[in-house]
A and B are shown apart, each in its own frame.
Chain A
Amino acid sequence: MSMFRRRRLTDEQLLSIFRSLPQAKAPADTEERLGRLIAQHSDHVPSVLGSLPWISAPADFDERLMEAIRDSRRPVAPIPPSPVVGGPSSGWFTNIPGWVGGVIAAAGLLFFLNHSGDMVETEGASHATPVPASAAPVPKASIETPDVSDQAPSISPADAQSRIAPAPVVRESVPVTGAERFDINPTPAAPARHQRASAGTPTGLSISAATPTASITPAGIPAVDDSDGGRATPAKTTVPQIPTSQPESLGHAYPTRIDSASEQPAAGAESGPNKNIIVDTGGGRKSQDSTRKNP
């Protein structure tokens, strides 16, 4: 560079010097070698790929396609609407947001926690120590056996037997079981169904010889039917039959019984034949279950 600076060569002089240099030439087979090089690197691939055989559709392609089109055109049954117009449906239930479900679950949990104590108490009461029938609270009686213990005077079993002597037309029917046998409206405050009368648990109307706290509907006193809204039904005056045995099964809720110490059956005497006595008072057919007799 210093030499050029000293001599101060112009650009034209530089160009002429470069032009005067000997020209180097490419070898004659440059193009051939270049072509081979290109073929080695990339052009080989297109030719190989281009020479691949053509894959065609199968012969039954059209048929299968038309079948698929027919299948896809088939109408789909619509989703049935909600049974209540504007009301919830199962689709609505599954599509509710997660937070709504959470709120519902939390409310349910709160309800359970608030009432779990009551449940425990009820459960404990059902397994409580049995108390004598005379000491236990007498639940509300139903239509056929209304509880009038606080209204009617207590009577002894013998008196009761004498008073109920003129019974109306009584006919026996075929033994029935289960719900048919105890066709009596349950009392709301009655204890659980598995409590047996022999244990002394109040299960409805009961008459005890020693403590005659139970009562029998006197003739002529209209019974109150709770099931039909408390309307008086005088024609349904019932004539309770003094049972001679315990009901064979107290599987039905709150059967009406008349316990009598004088007629208390012996232990194991519950297997007598079921006799369902129908009291026909002209106002309909009612069954009295507690009239089974010992064999």
Chain B
Amino acid sequence: MASQASELLSILSDEELIKRFQRGDERAFTQLVNRFKDPLTNYVYRFLGELDRANDVVQETFLRLYHYRHSYTRDAKFATWLYKVASNVTKSELRREYVSRRYLVHGISGDADNDWEGDEFLDPDLTPEAQVDSSLKMRLVQQALMQISAAYREVVILRDIQQMSYEEITEITGLGLGTVKSRINRGRAQLQTLLRDIYQEDGDVTHS
């Protein structure tokens, strides 16, 4: 009986699930968490660059969903609404980090190389050499992402990593379509420059 109910919930759309949750069905909330916890974790991690903080932000996002479930209306897609919540929480976290780093001589996070924690997400089927290459590439790309401004980073991640459409990005960010496209292009150009430099350094180091 319970499995049938979970199967029924799994075939429901996000909007139907949140509607059920608004009516008091907490299993719908569990289903929504199962659907969105990984995409949100990936998005927030790429935005913040730290896994622990990303987990906290995603948890805070779902807490807000739990407590403010009735603030969602059918005007928007549930996914974009939830991404918008996560984006706001992430920006608040970035703001807090900025303030704390501004008033501290040394940042809280320390060196990004020492705090690297992305290796656990590498494909285990890869050969050891491929895993090393992939780890290095992943680290360099994440460093490049963290170097561009947050306004560009947000739209580039949503577009190129989360594979969202321009319309969804405009709904999440609240920006116009032209602004979104412009920011995506500028962010990509900055990343291109950074990654080219990084790859060059990497190539020099590898060749030397």
A23 in the interface (beta carbon within 8 A) = no
From B121, B157, B188, give the contact of A53 (CB < 8 A).
B121
A68 in the interface (beta carbon within 8 A) = yes
Q: Which of B103-140 contact A (CB under 8 A)?
A: 118, 121-123, 134, 137-138
When distances are taken between beta carbons in the complex, the residues of chain B under 8 Å from A44 are: 192, 195
* Chain B residue, CB-CB nearest to A46: B160
- In the bound complex, CA of A56 to CA of B146 (Å): 19
A54 in the interface (beta carbon within 8 A) = yes
Contact digits for A62-77, partner B, Cβ 8 Å, 1 yes 0 no = 1011001100100000
B-to-A contact residues, CB < 8 Å = 30, 33-34, 37-38, 40-42, 45-46, 51, 54-55, 58-59, 62-63, 66-67, 118, 121-123, 134, 137-138, 141, 156-157, 159-161, 163, 185, 188-189, 191-192, 195
Closest beta carbon of chain B to A172's beta carbon, Å: 75
From A53, A55, A64, A72, give the contact of B41 (CB < 8 A).
A55
- In the bound complex, CA of A69 to CA of B69 (Å): 13
Q: Are B161 and A72 in contact (CB under 8 A)?
A: no
* Chain A residue, CB-CB nearest to B123: A53
From B55, B185, B192, give the contact of A57 (CB < 8 A).
B55
Q: Are B46 and A55 in contact (CB under 8 A)?
A: yes
28 A–B contacts, CB within 8 A, in A order: A42-B192, A45-B160, A45-B195, A46-B188, A48-B137, A48-B195, A49-B156, A49-B191, A50-B161, A52-B138, A53-B134, A54-B42, A54-B121, A55-B38, A55-B42, A55-B51, A55-B118, A57-B40, A57-B58, A61-B58, A62-B30, A62-B34, A62-B37, A64-B59, A68-B59, A69-B63, A69-B66, A72-B66
